[in-house]
Structure 1
């Protein structure tokens, strides 16, 4: 048999075959940029490096370097958003939505959260902003009587919230929900942060369903949630807030809720497990099962109800890419830990896959986190050490983020914030 002659135009050899870009990818970054009015807390840093006039161009340079299509910012000064960042966005074809935090940790110029998106890649279909203090318990699937508990009363005093934008990915026409938040900072109130996270999930689930239906897409919409959650993926050493920590680690209530989809009432950070001490809003440690009233103000104790994510199934971008969370995303003179995350829809039918993740800039040659054993070596789901970090005791496999990770306190000459940006590239599946 005589071989057929090659078709005209097919004379390209294997060494000349190109690699074609995937139109279904987009890049996302979450970044707490340290609002100017909070820089006084970073007194370990030379004053000239804390000056906003020095840090502002570094923030913009870093955003340029990451060149993300979707950006979630926390501690974004409102004037900066309106002026310098507004001009920066206009030059790069980006749009944005800002939510001020009108009740913040200290007085001074207003700061808040912002969600930015590149117009050539993402089209805004619907937008909504929420303040957690203005939401009702039903948003999180909770009964109305929790409004008489101390954790809920504390939540009502705060100014945190979330920005949600339904976006259409222009190359594919697919919808996704972009969101940004910044949860309450105070480590003495993990139960209040859990309530904020549950309200956020309820708002995202309802908005995604409502907005996608109005946009003519009945299928579930994937979620990309950026934020500083002020909650550790794994705590290994006891402190004044958690005097007792299991040897294989304790995941915060917020991290457990978001990564597992629910938080049982016996978790130390669940509002039911915490008994509030005397004084205005002073929580104590975990309470006994026979405590029927909070110690402060005679308020009802939070009921022993599991907290949920309103049906959302989420996973951390960094944990998906690295097999575990980075040991730190913030580093000051006295604290280091992982507080910043990009959360993604996960589970069967998820339309998002992680293509790459932003490397960590400390003491590891390949940019992978230096915390704990690999994902394959982690204990089975259900063990205390399975929450975001590697299991195991302090035997050389785990490293203290503050004492053992060779990364200097920030801000400094290179890094303009006390937080590191996190994120990576995502693939929208058909």
Structure 2
């Protein structure tokens, strides 16, 4: 028997893998994860199996390591999926995709009650985050965040390092909060299969098996989630079609472009038909046609009643999907709600309004004495005005009264910073 060290993961002891008797199939029940996916007797059988084969149990020694090992052999259990007929090393189950799929299995580590409202009635899910903080040693990832994620599409905005990925991982059950709670319809999501079955996540980093095709990988994630083989196969094909993979789904992942790998990750997030979708930078690396297809798909999922949270630092991308935003900065939630409502709440910032009319000079002479006007400037054509308004409600009322009295020949009245880019720049300045 030849046991060699498995590549060391950061902060973990060396694991081991078996090099003899490798088969051309991937087991649907990972050997070293059997205790996590099962319970009771499976736990004892797993312990005996570890001792007999001289392997350390990473799940017992490091339950939150986020890395599992999948040994490829006929005796590991389950018929699994066919692989290309060539020798290949043991598969290193990466976090978060494979581990989350295991945690979604019906016989997961903690047998809590299911979500009857979701499963019996097909009702809408809602994630609630209450005073959640996450610390990495002395570094604060997120700081006392409270929010509710309701059906529809919500954009999660923030510069790099703002805490977007940390918040998504907390909501996906991949991280345990340092304080506070994350719940789905009243149930904690961390290590809770009953809640995790309704959550799909598309992480920003790639955690994919390069030798599998895109379709095989999505099917494998379905099997690890507890779907029967036939259902996993059908759901994998439907999920690949939903993200417009087409014939590319039959290619090996190692030969795929960055944009197509993104679609594989989105397809695996859909395979178990979750009520909640958490998408971390899903449009990275996509070409313009793929971006348009993905934006349309995300909007469609929101219209179907799913809770969809999409993180990005590209404002125009989020604006194309939704007007509802969450804005993070330095781990804190600065604003939430519809963009116009958030803009109205920034009372300390005057709103700029562009106007074009035939009687621009007369309009300026009337407006100059208004208390709600902070400043006024003319355009180069002599017909356009840009006003900085401190009280938009009073400004609209005064302008409407003036237009009722006089014909100003007003052609354009357009708020210049009632948009996502302006809100973002004001709040993080």
TM superposition score category, shorter chain reference: under 0.3
Report which of the two structures shows the higher radius of gyration computed on alpha carbons. 2
TM-score (norm 2): 0.22
Structure with more helix by fraction: 2
TM-score (norm 1): 0.22
Q: Which has the higher contact order (CA 8 A, sep 6+)?
A: 1
